[in-house]
Structure 1
Amino acid sequence: MQTTTTFIARRSPLAVAVLLAVLGQHGVAAEQPATTSAQTDDAPVLSAVTVTATRREESLQKVPVAVSVVDGEQLERDNRNNVSTIVQQVPTLNYRSGASNKDTSLFIRGVGTITTSPGIEPTVATVIDGVVLGRPGQSTLDLLDLERIEVLRGPQGTLFGKNASAGVLNIISKEVPDETHGYVDYSHFGGGNENRLRFGIGGRLTDTLKGSLTTLLGKYDGNVKNEYNGDDANGYDRKGARGKLEFEPNDELKVTLIADYTQGKDTIPNGVLTKVGPVWGQAVDSSISPSDHNRSINSEMNTRVDDRNQGLSGQVDWALGDFTLTSITAWRGWNNTQYQDGDRLAGIFPGAPQSHDKGQLDYNQYSQELRLASPKGEFNEYVLGAFYMHGKSEETYQRAVTPVSLVTQSGRADYEAINDSYALFGENTFNFTEDFRGILGLRYTHDDLEYKHERVVTAPAAGIQPNFASDGSVDEDGFTGRAGFQYDINDNLTSYITYSRGYKGPAYNVFFNMQPRDTQPLKPETSNSWEVGLKSSAFNNRLTANLAVFHTEYENYQANFYDVVAGTVVTRLINAGSVKTEGVELDAAFQATSQLKFSGALAYTHARVDEFTCPVGAASTCDINGKPLPFSPDWKTYVRADYSIPLDNGLDVELSTDYAWQDQVQYSLDQNENTIQGAYGIWNASVALADYNQGWRVALLGKNLADKSYSNGLAYSGTPVLNYAYRSVPRDDERYFGVEVRKDF
C-alpha cells in the first residue's frame, strides 16, 4: 500500500516532509553512476503506483494532486471490506456512522455531509469505475474485485463527471486477466462469529472477449447484546456478485460492461447508551450499564436494515487517432428499509415511553459522461467532458409514539426529491518546458432540484409534528475551476501550487418532521482552496515522500444543527455560515530491504467554524465560532511494517503490523460535551504462510491487540427532563482474532 509515512511529527510535520524531500535530492547526488544492470535488478525498490486521478494513467509521483492510494489486495488481506474501513489507513479521511448505512457519510479534510435528507448532494463524491454514486449511503456497499482506491483531497470537478467540493474516492476494480484465473477465499473471525466466503474467476472467452465473475457470502452475528431477548446485534448478513465483460474487437475500440448486485441485512442498533439522565435512568434495568464502553442494549424492537444495491454500466473507449473518446453510461438502484427503536428502551416499567420508526427508500439514478483526451506529449494536453445525471429519491417514513401512560399516536410522511445536474468541464496542462507546466481547468454546472412532501398524523406528539404538506423547486448555476503551476526540481522531486474553486449545489431539508421553516432552499456551498505540494523519491526509488499543505475557506456551509423544539430533538439543515480548514498531509513509504517495507501517513487538519449563522429561534447555543468541525480530529496518523521471510522449500512467511492513532474528535456541531471521543490508537498484526507457486496462503490476524474501546459516532438527545447520550460501536471495539485461507487456481 502506498498511502504511508513512518514518522509521527507532532510538532512540525512540515519540517519532516521538507527533510524527506531534501533527502530525495541528496539521494540522487549520492548515487554511483557505475551501477550495473545486475545490481539494479537485485536492488530493493518500491513498486510503481499508477493512478487515474487526472483521467489518464500516470505515476502517483508525477500528478499535481494530493492523492492517497490504498491497495485492494491489502484491504482484502486486512479484512477491510468497504470504504468505511479504510479511514484508519488514510488520515485525511473520516467516516460518520449511523443507525443505518443511509445515515452514513465520508469527510475529507474535515468537511462532509451530515444529514439524511435526499435533497442534498454529497460533499465527498464516491466514484466506482467512472460511475458517480448520487447518495452518500450508497458508498457503504461491500467492494468486490478491488484493484485500488484513490482518495483525492480538496475540491474536484474539472476532471470528474460529478462535482465534489471536498474530495473524491475514486474506486477502480481489477482488469479481467488474459489467462484464466480463479480463487476461493474464506475467512473466520471471532468477536462476533464473522464468516466470509468469496469466489472469483476470470479470463479470456474468445480472441476479442474477456470476462470475470466475483461472488460474496458474508455473515457476522455482531458485538452488541440485546439483553431484552438475548439476541446479538450490530452484525450483518450479506451476499453479492459482480460481473465484468471486456470486448476489444480491434486496437482502437474497447467496450467494458459491468453489473453488480449486493443484498444485506444489518442489525445495527439505534445507538448504545453511554449516559442517561435521572428520568431515563429509571427505565434502564441492571442488565444495562451505560458507559463509554457499553456494548449492551435493552430493546423490544430489533433495530435492523434491509439494503439492496445494484447497478449496470457500459464504458466505451475509442481511439480516434491519437485522441481517446470515452463514454460511460450507467444506472444505479438503491433500496433501503430501516426499522429503528427510537426510545432505545424495552418498556420495562408500566407506561414507559415508546417510539418506533420504519423508513423506506427507493432511489434510482441515471448518468451519462463523455470525455475527450488529447494526445500526450503535446504543448497543450487536455481533457474535455460533458456530464448529465438524473437522480430520484422516493421515501416513506412512519413513526409510532406512545407517550408516558397515553394512547399511541402515529404519523406517516411521503416525500421525494429529484435532481438533474448538467455540466461541461475540462482541464489543460500547458508544457512550457520539459520541467515547467501550467494547469488550467474550468467547469460549468447547472442544477435543477425539486421536492414534494406530505405528512399525515393521528395527533401531534413528542417526535411527531402536525399535518404538513409542501413542495418546491430551485435551480442554480455554478462556475468552478482549478489553476496552478507544476515544476520538476529534478528527476526525483516535483512541486506544484494550485488554486481551486469548489461548488456544492442547492439543497432542501426534506425529512419526516419537515416544517414550514424547511421549505426555503439552501444556497449552494462554495469554497476557495490553495494547495502547495512536493512529491519526492530517493535512494533509487526505495523511498517516496509526498507532502501537501492546504488552506480552504467555505461559504454558505451546508450542515445539520441539532436543536430542541417542543420537547423533541430535531436537526436543521442550514447554511451554517463560513468555515475554514487548513493543514499538512504527509504520505511516505520506505523499502528498507527486499523483504522489509515501512509505510504510513500523517495529517494535521485544523478545521474550524469561522462565523456561524445561527438559525432563527434556535434553542441550542450558537456560540461555536472557532470551535472544531465535527468528525475532524486535529491529528491523525497511520504507520505500518511488512516483512517477508523466504524459506528454502518455496514457502514464504509474511509478517505485518500497523498502528492507527487519532486525536480527540467532536462528533456534534453544537459542541455538546457528551459527544467528544478522546484520543485513541488501534494496533493490528498478522502472520501468514504462503506458497505462491502452488497458489495458497494461510494467515492469522489479530485486531485491536491493545483492546481499546472507542466510538466512531456519538450523539446526544434530551431535554431537562429526558436526556441520554449514545454511541455507535465499531467492528473492532475490542480485541479479536481471525484466520484467512486462500487458494488460487
Structure 2
Amino acid sequence: MTISAQRRPGSPNFQSGETIMKVSRYLIGAGLAALIVAIDGAEALAQQLDTVTVTAQRREQAVTDVPIAITVLEGQTLNELSIATLDDLQLTVPNFQVTQTGIGTQMFIRGVGTGNDPAFEQSVAQFIDGVSYGRAQLIRAPFFDLERVEVLRGPQSVLFGKNTVAGALSLITAAPTRETTGYVTATWMPEFGDRQVDAAVSGPLSEQLMGRLAVRYYETDGFVSNPNKGRDEPSREQFAIRGSLLFEPNDRFDATLKLEHNRFDSRGREIEVVRDVNTQTLPNGVPLTFANALTGAGLPGAITNSEFNFTRDADSDEFADNTLFNATLTANYDLGFGTLTSVTGYLDYSRDELADLDFTNYFILTGLLSEDYDQFTQEVRVVSRQDQRLRWIAGGFYQSSTLTNNDITGFGPDITNLGFAPLANVGLERRYKTDSTAFALFGELTYDLTDRLRLIGGLRWTTEDKDATRQIAATTNPLGFDAPLVTDPVVLATIQAGLGVELNNPGGGSGHDLSQSRSESRLTPSVTVEFDATDDVMIFASYKEGFKGGGFDVRGNRTAFFEFADETVRTYEAGLRSDLMAGRAQFNATAYFSQYSNLQISQFDGTIGFNVGNAGKTEISGFDIDGRIALTNELSLAAGVSYLDFEYTDFRRGNCAFQETPDGDIVDGVQLCDYTGRRGRFTPEWTGFARLSYDRPVTDTIDFSSVLNVAYTGSHNIHDNLDPLGNVDGYTMVDLRAGFGTERWEVALLARNLLDEKVLTFAANVPFASSVGANTQYAVPLRPRVVGVQASLRF
C-alpha cells in the first residue's frame, strides 16, 4: 500500500501516478524539444534573453559562466509565481525539497539534508546577503523584496563555508536605488483566507545616501480541519520589516547597512493521522487498530479519522511563536588591484512552541519548547581584478554562536488509560546549551592556461570548537518549566525501564547531566577545469570536498547518543554552459557523482525520543539539465529536469520500521536495522519543471502577461524510518498567473496547485501505537488548490 497523489471528488482524473509521470515527462520533454528545434534552425523571431547576473562565486558573473549546477530565480519571476516561502520555491527548482516534520523543518538538495535534531546545522546552507542562516527554524522565516534567489547544488565549501555539503541557498535582498521607486502589492486567496500585503519604497536621501524600506504582512486561516477545536489549522500570521541604507561617497567605496525584524506565529498544525493499520484482531472480530485500542482503554473518539482528507485530531492549544532580528553591514573598497569586501552579520531568534505529540483528541503526550539562538559573523575577502591572466580570491571568516534549547515532553492525565498511570501529569524537562566558535581561511586562484583553457583551484581551512551541556529530569508539571522534581521511585522506574530515558533526578539511576567539548579542523579543496569549446559554449569538470561539523544531540534520551561526528563529501562534476541563437537561448547540463561519509541522521526510536548518529557511507549520482529560450518576442520557455540515483552503501545503524526484523549493528544494547542498499528519504529519481511566460500589449498602454509553471516530483519515500508504507506516488504541481497592467498598475488572477494534487511530504509513527500491534502514522500534507487575485501599484 502506498500514499497516492489522489484527486478530490469531482476534480480531473489524474489519480494514476503513471499518468502523472507521462504528462510531466511530456511537458518537460516538449519544452526541451522546443529548445533543441529552435536552436537547430529557427530564424531570428525573438529578442535576446536578459543576462542573469549571479554572485555564486563571490563575484558578479553571468550565470552561464559559472561551473556550478545552479538555478536562479530573479525578483520578477518570484513575484510572477507568488513565491513567498521556501515551500513555494521547491516547486520551481528540481532536486530541491522542503518539508515540515512533527518537530522541525528540513531542506534537501539531491536527496541530502538534515534530520530533526535542533543541534544539527543544515547540510543545505542558507545565506542571506552573504550571512549564514544555518539553523532549521530559520527556514520558516518569510523572504520578501528580493533581487534574486540562487540555488547551488553540490558542496560549495571553499567560498561559502563548511556547512554546504549538499548545496547552498543564497538569497539577495533588493538594494536601495538612486531613483525613487516603490510598490504596493496585495494578494487575496479566499479559499483559506490568505491575505498578504507587500510594500517597498526606495530612493535617495541625499547625494551620497540611499535608503530602502520594505514590509510584508501575511495571514491565513489554515487548510486542515480540526473538529475537536472547531477551527481550521494552521492559522498563521507574519510581519516583517526591513530597512537598508546605502552610502556611496565616491566611486571607490560603498557601505550597506541592513536591519530586519520578522515575527511569524501560528496556531495549530497541518499534521494528521493518515493510516491506522492493524496486525491483530480482537476475539469479536474487530480489528485492533490504535483507534479501537484507545476506545477499549476508555478513550472513545481519540482518533476519529485515519485517512488523508485534510482532517486532524488534536486537543492541545498548539502554538508556535517566532521572532527574528538580523543586522548586516557590507562594505566594499576598490584597492585598484582588486576589491576589499567586509561582511559583518548579527542575528538572533527566539522560538516558543507547544505541540500535540500524541495526535489524538486526548491529553496523552505534548511537547513544550523554548529555543534561543544568537550568532555573530565576520568575513573579510579580497577579489582581484578580473582582467588578468591570474585572478584570485582570498579571505578569512569568524563565527561565534550560542544555542539554548529547553523542552518538556509532557505526559497528560489520559496516559493513565494506556497503562502508564505513574506518568500522569509528569514532564520530562531537557535543558541544552551549546557554544560554538569557528574560524576559517580560504582562497581561490583562476589561471588562464590559454585563451580558452582555465584552471581553478581553491582551498579552505576551518577550525571549530564546541561546548555543550544537556540535562534531563522528571518534574511535576507537563506544561511548565522549573517545576519541582519527581521523587517517587515508582515514577522514576517507569520512565527509565518503560521508556528507556536516563534521568538526573536524585535516586534516578545513572544521572543525565552531560557536559562535553569537541574540536575539529578540516582542509577542503576544490579543483575545476574550464574550456571554451566555442565563444558561446563552456565545458567544465570539477572535484570538490566538503564537510559539516559534528556536535551534540538535543533530543536524545540516553547518554550513549550525545555526540555525533562530522559528515564529509567528495564530489565529481562535469558539464556545459552555453549561450545559443545569438543570445536568445541558453542550455546547461551537469552530471555528478558524490560519496558521503557519516551523514548526520536523527530517527524516531519508537517511544518518545530520537536517536542521533551517523549513516556510514552514501553514494549519489545523476544529472541536472536546464535551459531558457525566447521563442518569440512575446513567448519564452524555461525548463529543467534532474535525475537522482541515491544509495546507502554502508549504513547498519538505521532505525527499524514497524515490525521490521533487526539485522544491523547493536548500539547500546539495541539491535538496529541495516539500510545498506536502500534509497534515502526525499530522493525521487526524476524531478523537473517547465515554465511558459507570455507577454504582449493589448492596447497602447495595457499589457497582458501570464506565467504557467508545471513542476513534477517522482515517487519517493517520506517516512522517517523508511517504512514502505511511506512511499508516495509522483505528482505534478501546476501554478498559473495571468493579468493585465501598465507601468503603474497590474491586476492578476492566481492559481496554485491548479490540478488540486493531494500530496504528503513527511510521515512518521504515532507514539505508543506499536504497543498494540498497530502501524499508525501521521503525515504532513501540502496545501490543496487555491485561487486568488493580486493587485499591484508601482511608482
Give 1:59 shift.
0.6
1:701 matched to which residue of 2? Answer: 750
Aligned equivalents of 1:274, 1:326: Cα separation in 2: 52
Does the CA-based 8 Å contact 2:47-2:633 persist in structure 1?
yes
**2:779 alignment counterpart:** 727
Counterpart Cα distance in 2 of 1:341 and 1:227: 15
Matches of residues 311-326 of structure 1 in structure 2 within 5 Å? 311-326=326-341
* Aligned with 2:310 (options 295, 306, 313): 295
Q: CA deviation at 1:620?
A: 7.2
Selected match of 1:518 from 550, 561, 586: 561
1:656-714 deviations in Å (ceiling 9; x for gaps): 2121111111123632123222211111222101111xx10000012222221101212
Q: Is the 8 A contact 1:401 1:463 kept in 2?
A: no
Q: How does 1:54-453 map to 2 (within 5 A)?
A: 54-99=57-102, 103-118=104-119, 120-269=120-269, 271-277=271-277, 278-282=288-292, 283=294, 285=301, 288-291=304-307, 293-347=308-362, 354-402=364-412, 403-405=415-417, 406=421, 407-453=424-470
- What code does the residue aligned with 1:63 have? V
- Residue from 629, 633, 642 that aligns with 2:680: 629
CA contact (8 A) 2:302 2:360 kept: no
SS across alignment from 1:426: strand
Instruction: Please state whether the residue corresponding to 1:115 is helix, strand or coil.
Output: coil
Give the match for residue 635 of structure 2: 596
Is 1:471–2:515 an aligned residue pair?
Answer: yes
SS of the residue 1:726 aligns to: strand
- TM-superposed CA distance for 1:115, in Å, is 2.3
Q: What is the identity, as a one-letter code, of the residue corresponding to 1:151?
A: V
Contact residue 578 and residue 612 of structure 1 kept, 8 A? yes
Seen in structure 2, the aligned counterparts of structure 1 residues 81 and 127 have a Cα distance that, compared at 3 Å, is same
Q: What is the distance in 1 between the residues matched to 2:438 and 2:35?
A: 43
Pairwise CA distance, 1:479: 0.8
- Which secondary structure does the structure 1 equivalent of 2:609 belong to? strand
Instruction: From 705, 709, 715, give the equivalent of 1:654.
Output: 705
Q: Which amino acid aligns with 2:416?
A: V
Between the aligned partners of 1:449 and 1:121, the Cα distance in structure 2 is: 13
User: Retained in 1: the 8 A contact 2:162–2:549?
Assistant: no
Which of 39, 46, 49 is residue 46 of structure 1 equivalent to? 49
Q: Is 1:494 equivalent to 2:494 in the alignment?
A: no
Asked if structure 1 preserves the Cα contact closer than 8 Å seen for 2:538 and 2:577, the reply is: yes
Match of 2:762 in 1: 713
Q: What's the CA shift string for 1:541-574, capped at 9, x where partnerless?
A: 221110000000011221123333xxx1532111
Q: What SS does structure 2 have at the residue aligned with 1:87?
A: helix
Q: Which residue of 1 aligns with 2:575?
A: 533
Contact 1:552–1:582 (Cα < 8 Å) also in 2: yes
TM-fit CA distance, 1:162 = 4.9
Describe the superposition over 1:271-306 as per-residue Cα deviations: whole angstroms up to 9, x where unpaired: 211012535213573994322x32112222122210
Q: What is the count of residue pairs matched by the alignment? A: 708
**2:47 is aligned with what amino acid?**
P
> 1:65 deviation in Å?
1.5
Distance 1:484 1:18 in 2: 30
Query: Is 1:554 aligned with 2:596?
Result: yes
For the Cα contact (< 8 Å) 1:562–1:570, is it kept in 2? Answer: yes
Q: Which residue of 2 aligns with 1:545?
A: 587
- State how far apart, in whole Å, the 2-side matches of 1:367 and 1:8 are: 47
For the Cα contact (< 8 Å) 1:629–1:669, is it kept in 2? no
Write the distance in 1 (CA, Å) between the matches of 2:79 and 2:267: 23
User: Percent of aligned pairs with the same residue?
Assistant: 26
CA distance, structure 2, for counterparts of residue 388 and residue 252 of structure 1: 26
Structure 1 residues 250 and 697, CA, compared in 2 at 3 Å: closer, same or farther? same
AA aligned to 1:449 is K
Deviation at 1:588, TM superposition (A): 0.8
TM-score by length of 1: 0.91
- Deviation, 1:203, is 0.2
Unaligned runs of 5+ residues in structure 1 are 1-6, 32-38, 348-352
Instruction: Name 1:4's counterpart in structure 2.
Output: none
1:675 aligns with 2:675: no
Q: CA deviation at 1:723?
A: 4.5
Offset at residue 163 of structure 1 (A): 4.0
CA distance in 2, matches of 1:60, 1:22: 23
The structure whose residues are more often helix, as a share, is 2
SS across alignment from 1:56:
coil
CA RMSD after TM alignment: 2.5
Structure 2 CA distance for aligned equivalents of residues 620 and 679 of structure 1: 33
2:666: which partner in 1? 616
Secondary structure (helix, strand or coil) at the match of 2:178 reads coil
- Secondary structure at the counterpart of residue 84 of structure 1: helix
1:508 has 2:508 as partner: no
C-alpha distance 96-648 of structure 1, shift in aligned 2 (>3 A) = closer
> Is residue 579 of structure 1 aligned with residue 621 of structure 2?
no
Q: Secondary structure at the match of 2:192?
A: coil
> What do residues 367-393 of structure 1 show as CA deviations (whole Å, max 9, x unaligned)?
000101011121211111111111111
Distance across 2 between alignment mates of 1:676 and 1:343: 23
- Report the AA paired with residue 446 of structure 1: T
Match of 2:693 in 1: 642
Aligned residue type for 1:117: P
Gaps of at least 5 residues in structure 2 are 1-21, 278-287, 295-299, 475-485, 505-511, 654-664
Paired with 2:351 and 2:789, the residues of 1 have a C-alpha distance of 32
**Relative to structure 1, is the Cα distance of residues 463 and 199 closer, same or farther in structure 2, using a 3 angstrom cutoff?**
farther
Q: Report the more deviating stretch, 627-636 or 154-163.
A: 154-163
Q: Which sits farther off after the overlay, 613-622 or 127-136? A: 613-622
